[in-house]
Amino acid sequence: MGFIEQKTFRSKNDTDVLIRNGGADDADEIIGINKSVLEEKFFMLREPSEATYTTESMAKEIIRHIEKEGSLYIVSEVNGKVTGYLEFQNGFFKRTSHSGMFSMFILKEFRETGIGSMLLETLLEWAENNPLTEKVTLAVFSTNVRAQNLYRKYGFMEEGRCPRDMKLDDGTYIDSVLMYKFVK
Ligand SMILES: CC(C)(COP(=O)(O)OP(=O)(O)OC[C@H]1O[C@@H](n2cnc3c(N)ncnc32)[C@H](O)[C@@H]1OP(=O)(O)O)[C@@H](O)C(=O)NCCC(=O)NCCS
């Protein structure tokens, strides 16, 4: 089961940020974050029309992460509002269960104040102490320099690139950059 001790951090603009476990009750706010980031178009795989989550399916997704050994679902909260989330899921098979991939998204108006760092630090601390987890990985758009800088800051290295992995409506392509960090 993936659980953290919740913790309050101070953001760069002097606001308290609570990092806590996600729960089924967060489903609607997470869907809202998803929609808003999807509409920005440059950070997520899905097109806005492919956002098919319902409250029920999102709640199930969150619970699935919480109940699975080696997975984690955490959120950032500012003044009672969920402002971002990070989900980490380890491999399904025995041979891949030591390794997991995460993704994280923060509402536009709350970015660049340190919340991404808080979520990632919390994931890494959890991963270092989780007996199962040895390797943390991610995939990021090659164009997403801000996210890559964040990952490098925490010691992630480039594992490889998938050329022309995404094709946008206007016919342009974006590569995926795969990154990893060993936590044991
Ligand atoms: C990427 C994201 C998660 C980072 O979270 P954040 O709260 O904005 O990041 P932080 O404020 O903690 O900044 C962490 C680091 O990112 C880098 N960074 C932040 N803003 C940056 C910018 N404008 N340009 C380049 N690098 C930047 C810096 O290395 C920074 O470290 P520093 O504060 O020590 O200088 C967040 O911006 C986001 O949700 N973006 C849209 C969705 C997305 O890209 N998700 C990741 C998909 S793989």
83 inside domain = yes
Ligand 1 centre and the CA of 148: distance in Å?
A: 8
Counting the structural domains of the chain, the total is 1
* Dist. CA 36–CA 111, nearest whole Å: 13
Residue range 4-19, pLDDT digits in tens: 999 999 999 999 999 9
* Dist. CA 87–CA 101, nearest whole Å: 8
Give me the pLDDT at residue 1, please: 74
Ligand 1 centre and the CA of 94: distance in Å?
A: 33
**Does 116 sit in the ligand 1 pocket, CB within 6 Å?**
yes
* Host H or E run for residue 56: helix 55-67
Domain hosting residue 86, numbered range: 7-132
**Does 140 sit in the ligand 1 pocket, CB within 6 Å?**
yes
89 inside domain = yes
**Does 123 sit in the ligand 1 pocket, CB within 6 Å?**
no
Best residue for ligand 1 mutational test, from 37, 122, 146, 159 (most atoms within 8 Å of Cβ): 146
Which CATH number covers residue 13? Answer: 3.40.630.30
- Helices 145-153 and 115-129, interaxial angle, to 10°? 40
Sorting pLDDT into bands at 50, 70 and 90, what band is 144?
A: very high
Give me the pLDDT at residue 76, please: 98
175 inside domain = no
118 inside domain = yes
Give me the pLDDT at residue 128, please: 98
Ligand 1 centre and the CA of 118: distance in Å?
A: 11
User: Which residue has the CA at smallest separation from atom 27 of ligand 1?
Assistant: 146
Give me the pLDDT at residue 143, please: 96
152 inside domain = no
Sorting pLDDT into bands at 50, 70 and 90, what band is 167?
A: very high
140 inside domain = no
21 inside domain = yes
Give me the pLDDT at residue 56, please: 97
**Does 180 sit in the ligand 1 pocket, CB within 6 Å?**
no
* Mean pLDDT confidence for 113-129: 98
Sorting pLDDT into bands at 50, 70 and 90, what band is 51?
A: confident
For all residues of the chain together, what is the average pLDDT?
96
Ligand 1 centre and the CA of 149: distance in Å?
A: 7
CB atoms within 10 A of CB 20: 18
184 inside domain = no
pTM listed for this prediction? 0.97
